[in-house]
Amino acid sequence: MKSLWSDREAAEYKGDLGLRVYTSQLLGRDPSLVLHGGGNTSVKICEQNLVGEEEEILYVKGSGWDLETIAEAGFAPVRMAHLLKLAKLQVLSDSQMVNELKTQMTKASAPAPSVETILHASLPYKFVDHTHADAVISVTNTANGWERIQEIYGDDVVIIPYVMPGFDLARVCAEKFAAEKSDRTIGMVLMNHGIFSFGATAHESYERMIALVDRAEVYLQEHHAWEISPPASLIRDSETRLEIAKLRSEVSQVAKFPVVLSSHADEKSLAFAQRKDVNIISQQGCATPDHVIRTKRLPLVGRDVKAYAESYCTYFAEESAKSTQSVTILDTAPRVILDRLLGLVTVGKSAKDAAIVADIYEHTMEIIQRSQLLGGYQALPASDIFAVEYWELEQAKLKKSGSAPAFTGEIALVTGAASGIGKACVDSLLKRGAAVVGLDINPEIEKLYDRPDFVGITCDVSDESAIANALDQAVKSFGGLDILILNAGIFPSGCRIENLDTATWQKVMHINLDANLILMRECYPLLKLAPNGGRVVAIGSKNVPAPGPAAAAYSASKAALTQLMRVAALEWSSDRIRINTLHPNAVFDTGIWTEDVLTSRAQHYGLTVEEYKTNNLLKVEVTSRHVAELAAEMCGALFACTTAAQVPIDGGNDRVI
Ligand code: ZN
> What's the pLDDT tens digit per position in 115-132?
899 999 999 999 999 999
Residue 563 has pLDDT above 80, yes or no: yes
**What span, in angstroms and rounded, lies between the C-alpha atoms of 332 and 296?**
10
Cβ distance 219 to 148 under 8 Å? yes
> Residue 213 — very low, low, confident or very high, per pLDDT cuts 50/70/90?
very high
- What's the gap in Å between 190 CA and the centre of ligand 1? 9
Distance of CA 230 from the midpoint of ligand 1 (Å) = 31
Instruction: Kindly give the residue spans of alpha helices, DSSP state H, lying in 56-144.
Output: 80-87, 94-103, 117-122, 134-140
CA of 384 to the centre of ligand 1 (A): 15
- The closest alpha carbon to 263, from 243, 288, 283, belongs to 243
- pLDDT, tens digit, for every residue of 498-525? 999 999 999 999 999 999 999 999 999 9
Find the mean pLDDT for residues 514-540.
98
Task: Return d(Cα 188, Cα 195) in angstroms, integer.
Answer: 6
Distance 368 CA to ligand 1 centre (A): 19
pLDDT: which is higher, 245 or 288: 245
Give yes or no for a contact between 149 and 215, defined as CB atoms under 8 angstroms apart: no
Ranking 129-143, 276-290, 525-539, 627-641 by mean pLDDT, the lowest is 276-290
Mean pLDDT calculated for residue range 472-476: 97
**Of the candidates 260, 398, 403, 380, which has an alpha carbon nearest to the alpha carbon of residue 329?**
398
- Whole-number Å distance, alpha carbon 392 to ligand 1 midpoint, is 17
**What pLDDT score was predicted for residue 590?**
74
User: What residues have CB less than 8 Å from 506, skipping those under 6 apart?
Assistant: none
Spatial distance between the Cα atoms of 360 and 288, rounded to a whole number of angstroms: 10
Centre of ligand 1 to C-alpha 170, Å, is 11
pLDDT at 278 over 80: yes
Whole-angstrom Cα distance, residue 66 to residue 302? 33
Domains and CATH numbers, the chain: 7-222 (3.40.225.10), 242-400 (3.40.225), 411-587+624-649 (3.40.50.720)
Distance 198 CA to ligand 1 centre (A): 15
- CA torsion, points 618, 621, 623, 627, in degrees to nearest 10? 10
Q: How many whole angstroms from 28 Cα to the centroid of ligand 1?
A: 14
pLDDT at position 399 is 65
Cβ 478 vs Cβ 411: under 8 Å: yes
Burial (CB < 10 A; 0-12, 13-18, 19+), residue 279, is exposed
Residue 640 alpha carbon to ligand 1 centre in Å? 45
- The rounded percent of the chain whose pLDDT value lies above 90 is 83
Å from CA of 101 to ligand 1 middle: 17
Is-contact 345 264, C-beta < 8 A?
Answer: yes
Q: Residue 492: is its pLDDT beyond 90?
A: no
Q: How many angstroms does the Cα of residue 94 sit away from the middle of ligand 1? A: 15
CA of 163 to the centre of ligand 1 (A): 11
Q: CB atoms < 10 A from the CB of 312, how many?
A: 21
Q: How far is CA 26 from CA 125, 127, 213, 412, in A?
A: 20, 14, 14, 37
251 CA → ligand 1 middle, Å: 30
CA of 187 to the centre of ligand 1 (A): 14
- pLDDT mean over 133-148: 96
Of 7-11, 610-614, 647-651, the least confident: 610-614
Per-residue pLDDT, 326: 81
Model pLDDT for residues 313-372, shown as the tens digit of each residue: 999 999 999 887 788 888 999 999 999 999 999 999 999 999 999 999 999 999 999 999
The CA distances from residue 403 to 191, 255, 350, 407, in Å, are 37, 16, 14, 11
Q: What is the pLDDT of residue 231?
A: 80
- Say yes or no to pLDDT of 646 above 90: yes
The rounded Å distance from CA 206 to ligand 1 centre is 16
Which uninterrupted H or E stretch holds 440? strand 435-440
Give the residue among 395, 399, 304, 300 at the shortest CA–CA distance from 357.
Answer: 300
Which of 261 and 326 is assigned the larger pLDDT?
Answer: 261
CA–centroid distance, 612 to ligand 1, in Å, is: 63
DSSP annotation of 607 reads: -
C-alpha of residue 32 to centroid of ligand 1, in Å: 14
SS3 labels along 248-301: HHHHHHHHCCCCEEEEECCHHHHHHHCCCCHHHHCCCCCCCHHHHHHHCCCCEE
CB-neighbour burial class of residue 497 (10 A; exposed 0-12, middle 13-18, buried 19+): exposed
Give distance in angstroms: CA of 196 to centre of ligand 1: 9
Across residues 585-605, what is the average pLDDT? Answer: 83
350 Cα: distance to centroid of ligand 1 (angstroms): 25
Task: Tell me the CA–centroid distance for residue 193 and ligand 1, in Å.
Answer: 6
Whether residue 402 has pLDDT greater than 70: no
- Amino acid, single-letter form, for residue 281: I
Maximum CA extent, the chain = 97
Q: Can you tell me whether residue 625 is helix, strand or coil?
A: helix
Mean pLDDT score of the chain? 94
What is the Cα–Cα distance from 13 to 24, expressed in whole angstroms?
12
Amino acid at 458: T
Query: What is the structure's pLDDT at 396?
Result: 67
* Distance from Cα 572 to the centre of ligand 1, integer Å: 51
For residues 587 and 571, give the distance between their C-alpha atoms in angstroms, rounded to a whole number. Answer: 31
- Please give the distance, rounded to the nearest whole angstrom, from the Cα atom of residue 85 to the centre of ligand 1: 22
Whether residue 404 has pLDDT greater than 90: no
**Out of 73-77, 243-247, 612-616, which region has the weakest mean confidence (pLDDT)?**
612-616
CA of 464 to the centre of ligand 1 (A): 50
- Residue 360 C-alpha to ligand 1 middle, in angstroms? 14
Query: Which runs of consecutive H residues, i.e. helices, occur in 479-530?
Result: 502-509, 515-527
Q: Mean pLDDT over residues 101-106, rounded? A: 95
388 Cα: distance to centroid of ligand 1 (angstroms)? 12
Rounded distance from Cα 469 to ligand 1 centre (Å): 42
149 CA to centre of ligand 1 in angstroms: 17
CA of 519 to the centre of ligand 1 (A): 48
Q: Phi-psi bin for 366: left (phi > 0), alpha (psi -120 to 50), beta?
A: alpha
How many angstroms is it from 347 CA to the middle of ligand 1? 24
Determine the distance separating the centroid of ligand 1 and the alpha carbon of 213, expressed in angstroms.
Answer: 15
Residue 612 CA, distance from chain mean position: 44
Q: With a cut of 90, say whether residue 95 has pLDDT above it.
A: no
Question: What's the 122 CA to ligand 1 centre distance in angstroms?
Answer: 15
Task: Determine the distance separating the centroid of ligand 1 and the alpha carbon of 133, expressed in angstroms.
Answer: 10
Average pLDDT over residues 609-622: 92
Residue 400 has pLDDT above 80, yes or no: no
Q: How far apart are CA 134 and CA 565, in angstroms?
A: 53
pLDDT in tens, 456-466: 999 999 999 99
Distance 396 CA to ligand 1 centre (A): 20
**How far does the centroid of ligand 1 lie from the alpha carbon of residue 194, in Å?**
6
| Ligand 1 centroid, distance to 325 Cα (angstroms) | 23
Cα–chain center distance at 235: 28
Count Cβ atoms below 10 Å from residue 547 Cβ, excluding itself: 16
Check pLDDT > 70 for residue 389: yes
Query: How many angstroms is it from 38 CA to the middle of ligand 1?
Result: 7
